[in-house]
Amino acid sequence: MGAFVASVRQGRMSGGATIAGTVSLSGRDSSGGGTASVRLSPAGPGTGIWFNSRTRATLSNAHECGHATCLGRGVRKVRMVEHLLAACYGLGITDLAVETAGSALPIGDGSADTYVRLLRRAGVVKYETGPEPARLKRPVLEQRGTRFIAAIPARGLTITCLTRFPEFGAQFFSVGVTPVSFLRDLARARTLARTNLSPAALRKELDLRFRLKRAGRFVCAERRRFTDEPCRHKALDLLGDLALLGRPLEAEVFAYMPGHRLNIAFAREIERELEA
């Protein structure tokens, strides 16, 4: 299959990739502070990303659940898959076997960087053949009240995000998504927790190494990695949900206050408007 172990290089994403070996991670489950674990293994070209050998990472299997994206239903449900899927998209990984224990993936530090490190430790194996890019026939708009996501046809993928949380003010972020820009600008952006727990209690529950603080409805990192970290994380979550297309998207995407329910509805609308 002409595979080679590749370093991540700048440029448009093309071809397909898996990982060179099996790696595992254990940590806290974000939904309740219990233990969760995941094992990632190589998969053959064209396989796609599968969870527990029965649920493929596709829009038909996805839904929003408690401010996260879930795959599957009932006892087969796996929660908070978006950070792993964003890492796969950012590194160009198209084929992967994911085995989980627990109802969610480990939260790590609340960003995709946990999974970037895990995948890179396994080694990224690139090959020339891969899924065809997803190209739009026409512009797409999905709206829920004042929130919206729109896309127009383009080469490559650009995500532009605007958020307006009262706790953080208006924030704006835009990035042309490549492996290099993903690692530099998106992967390390951490999530916000909407919780009544104190920062100290949440830090202990999730076994985090950095201090937290309360900001209105949210608990977040005391020291930001980016001045606009909340906005960047919303863009990261959107990228993870767009990975459910199973193909690299070529579009300019504009999002105002995106969230998982809106992201998934938008991705489904994208799926209906793709070129044959």
Cα-Cα-Cα-Cα dihedral sign, residues 27, 248, 139, 175? positive
The one catalytic residue in 63, 67, 83, 260 is: 260
Residue 260 bears catalytic tag: yes
Pairing of strands 49-51, 55-56: antiparallel
Asked if 189 contacts 111 with a C-beta cutoff of 8 angstroms, the reply is yes
Number of neighbours of residue 17 by Cβ within 10 angstroms: 21
For strands 147-153 and 35-42, give the pairing: unpaired
Written as six digits, the tokens of 58 are: 């596709």
Cα 145 to Cα 256: distance, rounded to the nearest angstrom: 11
Under DSSP, is residue 226 helix (H, G, I), strand (E, B) or coil? coil
CA–CA dist 239, 10 (Å, integer):
18
Helix (H, G, I), strand (E, B) or coil at 234: helix
Helices assigned H by DSSP within the chain: 82-91, 113-122, 179-181, 199-206, 229-242, 260-272
Q: What CA–CA distance (Å, rounded) separates 113 from 189?
A: 8
Q: Which residues are catalytic?
A: 260
